[in-house]
Amino acid sequence: MKSKIINDSSMNNITKYYENSKIFITGATGFVGKALLEKLLRSCEKIDSIFLLIRPKAGVTVQERLKDLLKNPLFDIIKGRNVDMNKIKVLTGDVSMPNLGLTDQDLRYLLENVDIVFHSAATVKFNEKLKDAVMLNTLATKHLLEICSQMKKLKSFVHISTAFSNADRKTIEEKVYTPNYNADTIIYLIQNLPEEFIESISEILLGEHPNTYTFTKVLAEQIVLNYSNLVPVAIVRPSIITAAWKEPYPGWVDNISGITGILMECGRGTIKSIICDDSCNMELIPVDIVVNLVITAAWYVGISRPNSVKVYNCTSSQMNPITWKHFGIITTRNMTVYPTKYLTWYPGFSFTKYRNLHKVSSFFHHTIPSTLLDLYLYLSGQKPIMLKLTRKFNRALYEGSFFSTNQWDFKSSSTSELVKIVKESDKSKCFELDFSIENRFDWNDYILEFFKGIREFVLKDDMSSLSGARIKLNRLYWLQKLVYVFLLFIVFRLVLLLNDCIFKTSVNMD
């Protein structure tokens, strides 16, 4: 059914919508969550307060975790503008617990005062145990929505899902699909059956889902749909989330999850083979586009008051598609422009969709060099770590291969509509959603900044080491050439030896 937009000019201004708002965010310590927090503070300066749900971790208090969070270079711009950081209020809690583990006092305050809720908390591990994934992705969503349904001032709730929540389908509309199993039934099972039994039947429960992540995210969407008659909700489905396009800095990224870690190791020369069907579209999306869509989706739900849950597919194939083959060509071109001092070997990689071929290539290009490097580290009195890292990234390659060897048709009418509405309402262009070629998004420039961002923000390698890294890169280039010449010589000698053996055998037989 068509939404009815409120006839109030003040509401058609996105920043005005957020004025004096009290916002609640889960998952603020994650990649998207911290980018969302920074954007709200920078672009919606008249927000009243932002409440973050954080749990104590490994003996570190929530206040200490907040301090660590705000040390991220991501927040340097707003610190320079003297934005009031006291707007950030931290609440101790845990999304997997009833009432989010909040104290009675904190819960009461949220119910009485919160206007807008962003649910970003989730485990994004593909290999998470089913019970843990259900607790963190599905049950947590239900716990939060139970609270939201009682909030007296709630204007909008945005659930950050994934474009691959329905990975078992090839065409994905902007709607909530009914999963094979009822979400409440799965929650009941994991709460009442032994974990060993749950793990033993997890493969059956997953069906055609590639992992527990996509399975528990589709269950979470069903929970959101169930509450949509009580809560004004939107679901944002980003695909593979990558470094920032523009904000707050081009190339900003702060983790090595997924494609970021793979690109980092490609740039260091340690990954040489990737399982991939290079004819498929690569579905990635810059984190600042995701954050802007999340913020504007909350605004639009609040002013339009839709009669059902709004779903937004957020993928690159909507506006600026790129195949894995094209991505690989651009990556190869750019990964030596800003080499890091942490180079291990000369960069270069290849795609293959044949797993056995990848295993052979991985053995020669990943396992053998890592073993030799570990031997060198051991003999020089250092801790051998390369083989362990290689195994970790090989697992990541296999776990992500489902997404690099398949293609989906993501429909995007709701997202396209929102892009147009935001263009009309956001005169200052604070909330950029359009990353099409027409809007000057260039894949080559973006990937170059991505590598620069990995160098600066992930590897913590500042530009003072660039000249030394380029010298090292040049040496590795010629060393690689020498190794190839040596290997060719060995192959040539083996061929001669084999021919000699065949000739002598033939003579003896005669």
Q: What mean pLDDT do residues 277-292 have? A: 96
**192 CB-side CA count, 13 A:** 6
Task: Note the pLDDT of residue 509.
Answer: 63
Q: Which domain, by its residues, includes 195?
A: 9-251+281-321
Residue 234: beta bridge partners? 158, 310
Residue 19 CA to residue 22 CA, distance in Å, equals: 9
Q: Does 393 score more than 90 pLDDT?
A: no
Which residues have CB under 8 Å from 310's CB, separation 6+? 233, 234, 235, 297, 300, 301, 414
The verdict on residue 338 lying in a domain is: no
Burial 77-116 (b: 16+ CB within 10 A, else e): ebeeeebeeebbebbbbbbbeebbbbeeebbebbeebbbb
Residue 279 CA to residue 328 CA, distance in Å, equals: 11
Q: What is the CATH number of the domain that holds 75?
A: 3.40.50.720
Write down the mean pLDDT value for the chain. 91
341 and 472 Cβ atoms separated by less than 8 Å: yes
Which residues have CB under 8 Å from 45's CB, separation 6+? 15, 83
Task: Note the pLDDT of residue 17.
Answer: 93
5 and 301 Cβ atoms separated by less than 8 Å: no
Q: How confident is the model at residue 306 (pLDDT cuts 50, 70, 90)?
A: confident
Task: Note the pLDDT of residue 480.
Answer: 86
What are the tens digits of pLDDT across the range 401-418?
A: 999 999 999 999 999 999
Instruction: Tell me which of 106 and 387 has the higher pLDDT.
Output: 106
Closest alpha carbon to 46 in 23, 26, 64, 68: 23
Residue 235: beta bridge partners? 159, 311
Task: Note the pLDDT of residue 508.
Answer: 64
Six token digits for residue 119: 């649910």
Instruction: Tell me which of 9 and 242 has the higher pLDDT.
Output: 242
Residue 89 CA to residue 23 CA, distance in Å, equals: 10
Poorest-pLDDT segment among 15-19, 189-193, 454-458, 506-510: 506-510
69 and 32 Cβ atoms separated by less than 8 Å: no
- Element holding 117 (H helix, E strand): strand 116-119
Residue 131 CA to residue 189 CA, distance in Å, equals: 9
The verdict on residue 273 lying in a domain is: no
Helix/strand/coil for 382: coil
For residue 304, the tally of other CB atoms under 10 A from its CB is 18
Six token digits for residue 56: 């104590």
Cα–Cα distances (Å) from 476 to 11, 407, 452, in that order, read: 58, 36, 20
Q: What are phi and psi of 117, to 5 degrees?
A: -125, 135
Q: Does 387 score more than 70 pLDDT?
A: yes
The verdict on residue 404 lying in a domain is: no
Query: Side chain identity at 460, as an amino acid letter?
Result: K
Task: Note the pLDDT of residue 142.
Answer: 97
Number of domains comprising the chain: 1
Q: What mean pLDDT do residues 276-296 have? A: 96
The verdict on residue 64 lying in a domain is: yes
Q: Does 188 score more than 50 pLDDT?
A: yes
**179 CB-side CA count, 13 A:** 28
Q: How confident is the model at residue 369 (pLDDT cuts 50, 70, 90)?
A: confident
Task: Find tokens 């920074």 and name the residue.
Answer: 38
Six token digits for residue 271: 């990954």
The verdict on residue 1 lying in a domain is: no
Six token digits for residue 351: 């795609």
Residue 487 CA to residue 368 CA, distance in Å, equals: 14
Cα 4 versus chain centre, distance: 33
Q: Does 3 score more than 60 pLDDT?
A: no
Q: How confident is the model at residue 422 (pLDDT cuts 50, 70, 90)?
A: very high
435 and 290 Cβ atoms separated by less than 8 Å: no
Q: What mean pLDDT do residues 304-331 have? A: 93
Q: How confident is the model at residue 510 (pLDDT cuts 50, 70, 90)?
A: low
Q: What are the helix (H) ranges across 345-406?
A: 355-362, 368-379, 386-404
Paired sense of beta strands 116-119 and 156-160, if any: parallel
Six token digits for residue 484: 């190839």
For residue 2, the tally of other CB atoms under 10 A from its CB is 7
Residue 409: beta bridge partners? 171
Task: Note the pLDDT of residue 372.
Answer: 85
The verdict on residue 305 lying in a domain is: yes
Task: Note the pLDDT of residue 365.
Answer: 85
The verdict on residue 475 lying in a domain is: no
Q: Does 11 score more than 80 pLDDT?
A: no
223 and 141 Cβ atoms separated by less than 8 Å: yes
Burial 238-262 (b: 16+ CB within 10 A, else e): bbbbbbbbbbbbbbbbbebbbbbbb
Query: Side chain identity at 309, as an amino acid letter?
Result: V
What single DSSP character describes residue 60? Answer: B
Task: Note the pLDDT of residue 378.
Answer: 87
Cα 357 versus chain centre, distance: 28
Q: Does 438 score more than 70 pLDDT?
A: yes
Poorest-pLDDT segment among 210-219, 339-348, 424-433: 424-433
pTM > 0.85: yes or no: yes
Residue 334 CA to residue 69 CA, distance in Å, equals: 31
Residue 9 CA to residue 11 CA, distance in Å, equals: 5
Six token digits for residue 492: 């040539």
Task: Note the pLDDT of residue 308.
Answer: 85
Q: How confident is the model at residue 7 (pLDDT cuts 50, 70, 90)?
A: very low
Which residues have CB under 8 Å from 143's CB, separation 6+? 95, 96, 97, 98, 99, 100
Length of the chain: 510
Q: Does 494 score more than 50 pLDDT?
A: yes
Residue 174 CA to residue 315 CA, distance in Å, equals: 12
Task: Note the pLDDT of residue 191.
Answer: 93
Q: How confident is the model at residue 6 (pLDDT cuts 50, 70, 90)?
A: very low
Q: How confident is the model at residue 444 (pLDDT cuts 50, 70, 90)?
A: very high
Closest alpha carbon to 122 in 206, 253, 215, 38: 215
Task: Note the pLDDT of residue 2.
Answer: 40
Instruction: Tell me which of 444 and 509 has the higher pLDDT.
Output: 444
The verdict on residue 137 lying in a domain is: yes
Q: What are phi and psi of 249, to 5 degrees?
A: -135, 140
Task: Note the pLDDT of residue 4.
Answer: 44
Q: How confident is the model at residue 5 (pLDDT cuts 50, 70, 90)?
A: very low
